[in-house]
Amino acid sequence: MSDLNVLPTNGEPGVRCRSLRCKGMYLNYGLAPADRVTGDGHFWCAKNQKVYGPDDQIVGDLPCRDSSRTCYET
């Protein structure tokens, strides 16, 4: 498994994979910019509904910005 704190291979945070999901996506939908967002920080992959992707690596905000992952989709 990969380290949760590792940036994508190019060193720059990119665009998140379209399959990355988190509770905050549903709880914060439609909030005004000034409203406080909520979420527990737990992520899962929409492709397999697990905390690791189809490539057997952990999912999360930074790991799922790595376009070199075989399961990554823009």
pLDDT tens for each residue of the chain, 74 residues long: 444 444 445 556 689 999 999 988 888 888 787 777 677 789 999 999 999 999 999 999 889 999 999 999 99
Asked whether the beta carbons of 28 and 37 are under 8 A apart, the reply is yes
32, with CB counted inside 10 A (0-12, 13-18, 19+), is exposed
Domain of 13, in residue numbers: 1-74
35, with CB counted inside 10 A (0-12, 13-18, 19+), is exposed
Q: Where is 22: in which H helix or E strand? A: strand 20-22
Structural domain count of the chain: 1
